[in-house]
């Protein structure tokens, strides 16, 4: 009788133990940036357990990154069905895994924004996980690299424009090329090209010189500090610092 009871007790104890041994891998506590959690893997997907043994995040992600690695101390990158999102330190899915690509906060020159991409279209998320710039652009540049600190170049359908640090579209994408402000000798102007013709925009986004010229030089290059050489169909003249064509060749009486 004692042997039977001992065997039954052993089976019960073994059953309790094996019921808890359900993970293919268990990581070290704290190594993913959350001191009280350890990574666990079951059936090729990952989650977390806490120091009480409770499942803080059910295993369901193909990959889980380190908290803070993408520039937000309280978030970890997760991947599901080859799409990416974020969880926070409570295990909440702050950004659902719907993005093909997610960058790093601040990498594009805006400390509180992160670049995201779906099917080749890019936009930005803020620190709350909200889309502040819609995924409408083929490319988004780094803020400030074109001489305007608060603007970033954006491209859509092979033409370029600008957005500002609030996400507002300052210049709708419509130019084939946009140069750097000041590169042609006028600090407040950037060269633009449309249909193989050149002009200038200013730092408010206004088209100061319409893109009608075949060629535009650099202010001062012809020896006059305030004039810039322009050309249309082989004929040359000058623009002044107001963007007006200078009347030259008149007879002085």
* C-alpha distance from residue 113 to each of 56, 95, 167, 241 (Å): 28, 13, 10, 37
Predicted model pTM: 0.85
Cβ-proximal residues to 147 (8 Å cutoff; 6+ apart), any chain: 180, 181, 182, 183, 190
pLDDT (tens digit per residue) in 8-43: 444 444 434 333 679 999 999 999 999 999 999 999
CA distance 235 to 232: 5
Instruction: Return the HEC string of 192-209.
Output: EEECCEEEEEECCCCEEE
CA distance 172 to 163: 8
CA distance 145 to 55: 46
Nearest 5 degrees, angle CA 189-CA 192-CA 198?
A: 110
* C-alpha distance from residue 102 to each of 16, 63, 163 (Å): 42, 14, 19
pLDDT (tens digit per residue) in 96-148: 999 999 999 999 999 999 999 999 999 999 999 999 999 999 999 999 999 99
> Could you tell me the strand order of the sheet in which 169-175 lies?
139-140, 151-156, 159-164, 169-175
């Amino acid at each position: 009788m004692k042997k039977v009871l001992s065997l039954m007790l052993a089976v019960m104890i073994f059953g309790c133990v094996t019921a808890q041994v359900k993970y293919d891998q268990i990581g070290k506590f704290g190594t993913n940036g959350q001191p009280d959690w350890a990574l666990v893997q079951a059936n090729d997907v990952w989650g977390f357990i806490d120091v009480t043994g409770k499942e803080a995040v059910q295993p369901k992600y193909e990959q889980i990154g380190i908290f803070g690695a993408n520039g937000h101390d309280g978030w970890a990158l997760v991947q599901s069905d080859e799409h990416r999102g974020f969880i926070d330190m409570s295990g909440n899915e702050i950004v659902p895994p719907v993005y093909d690509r997610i960058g790093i906060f601040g990498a594009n020159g805006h400390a509180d924004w992160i670049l995201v991409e779906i099917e080749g279209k890019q936009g930005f998320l803020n620190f709350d996980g909200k889309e502040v710039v819609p995924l409408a652009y083929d490319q988004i540049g780094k803020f400030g690299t074109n001489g305007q600190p608060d603007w970033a170049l954006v491209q859509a359908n092979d033409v370029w424009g600008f957005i500002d640090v609030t996400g507002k579209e300052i210049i709708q994408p419509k130019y084939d090329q946009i140069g750097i402000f000041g590169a042609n000798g006028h600090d407040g102007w950037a060269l633009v090209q449309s249909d193989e013709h050149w002009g200038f925009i200013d730092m408010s986004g206004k088209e100061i010189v319409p893109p009608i010229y075949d060629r535009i030089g650099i202010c001062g290059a012809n020896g006059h500090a305030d004039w810039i050489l322009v050309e249309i169909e082989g004929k040359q003249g000058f623009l002044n610092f107001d963007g007006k064509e200078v009347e030259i060749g008149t007879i002085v009486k």
